[in-house]
Amino acid sequence: MTLRLLFLIGSYLVGAIPTGYLVVRLKARTDIRQFGSRSTGATNVFRTAGLLSALPVIVVDVLKGFLPALLAAQLFGDVRLTLAAAILAVLGHCYPVYIGFRGGKGVATAMGGFLFLCFPGTLAGLGVFVLVIALTRTVSLGSLLAVFSFPLWALIFNRGTDVFYGSALMALIVVLRHGKNIERLIAGRERTLGRQDEQETR
């Protein structure tokens, strides 16, 4: 029991590594949370510091969700512990202890966790993401619909009720972190790709 608890704490701490914050801090000596959406995620890093800064952020953020789930499955062989590790990694990314619990919005890390849990479902979710952005040029809408589709793919690809509920909880965390984006989407004021208007506020 103690080993499992330590592993879950470690999953949160790995998820809490503030990749976007560190990349922008090292490159520009500034706090990414002072710009754009105030998020440490790859989308805000891309808009603030460019593609070369955003690429390592998205790779590491995906791994933060994937590796805890992978290790939990290999070490313990327990699907619920595996789900808990992925969920805690997402929570860590969104609410990182290292920088005052102000992190990213959880999309890439949730995708990393789901990548291990349901690989074909992750590809389908990426398809949703790409399609929505192609049609609307709105990253937040694509992200929300992609992550929101994860529980559906878990059912379609027969991953079981545990993965369904676990992926639904990850999706809920992401939705909660997108509260301001959802308000702007409803109001028709959400920023789209290529739009150079006022900065988002949170």
CA atoms within 13 A on the CB side of 118: 29
Phi/psi of residue 199, each to 5°? -70, 150
Residue with tokens 């192609």: 134
Residue with tokens 């313990």: 76
Amino acid at 123: L
With beta carbons less than 8 A apart as the criterion, state whether 103 and 16 touch.
yes
Domain boundaries, the chain: 2-187
User: Which runs of consecutive H residues, i.e. helices, occur in the chain?
Assistant: 2-15, 19-28, 42-49, 51-76, 79-94, 107-117, 119-136, 139-148, 150-156, 161-177, 179-187
CA distance 51 to 49: 7
pLDDT for residue 194: 67
Collapsed DSSP state (helix, strand, coil) of residue 20: helix
pLDDT along the chain (202 residues), means of 10: 93 97 92 91 90 95 98 96 98 97 96 97 97 94 96 97 97 95 93 59 33
Distance of CA 162 to the CA centre of its chain: 20
pLDDT for residue 200: 41
Structure pTM? 0.92
With beta carbons less than 8 A apart as the criterion, state whether 18 and 83 touch.
no
